[in-house]
Amino acid sequence: MASQPNRLDLSYAVRVLESPKQSHLEAMHHVLRYLKWTSGQSLFFSSKFDLQLKGFCDAYWAACLDTRRSVTGYCIFLGNALVPWKSKKQHRVSRSSAKAEYRSMAAAICELSWLKNIISDLSVATH
């Protein structure tokens, strides 16, 4: 099976462009410069497979200049396969970067718990 790259770090920026304004054009130029300098970085899916759940999360504190809300991002792997991933503006304004990170971690743990229960219900052995 061939490897496929994925750019989780861009999903929020692309979604914001649904109703573009001048500030969005400037942001898109920023994204394009970012792509130019990070073109060698991406996620790859391997053909090897083990059934271990692994999750990674991060938050970008006060990312939205209009609302000052942070952006949550997480990705969860089952073996080497990326199963769910998400990048979304948080519902509330975080007063610190630690609080934004905590909210991101809580979202990732909820998703991990849900996946663990589904895998258990399907009687699939993991480690």
The yes-or-no verdict on residue 47 having pLDDT over 70 is no
Section 62-74 average pLDDT: 89
Confidence of residue 1 (pLDDT cuts 50, 70, 90): very low
Alpha-carbon dihedral angle through residues 85, 54, 119, 49, given to the nearest 10 degrees: 100
Q: Which CATH number fits the domain that encloses residue 90? A: 3.30.420
Q: Does 1 map to a domain?
A: no
Does 30 fall in a domain? yes
Q: Which amino acid is at 4?
A: Q
**Total of domains in the chain:** 1
Instruction: Check residue 44 and give its pLDDT.
Output: 63
The pLDDT of 83-109, averaged and rounded, is 92
Domain assignment of residue 56, yes or no? yes
CB count within 10 Å of CB 94 equals 20
Q: Kindly compute the dihedral angle of the four CA atoms of residues 119, 122, 125, 127, in this order, to the nearest 10 degrees.
A: 10
Q: Which residues contact 31 (CB under 8 A, 6 or more apart)?
A: 10, 13
Q: What's the mean per-residue pLDDT of the chain?
A: 81
Residue 99 inside a domain? The answer is yes
Domain range for 52: 8-121
Confidence of residue 65 (pLDDT cuts 50, 70, 90): confident
In the block, tokens 């759940």 appear at 53
Query: Residue 115: inside a domain, yes or no?
Result: yes
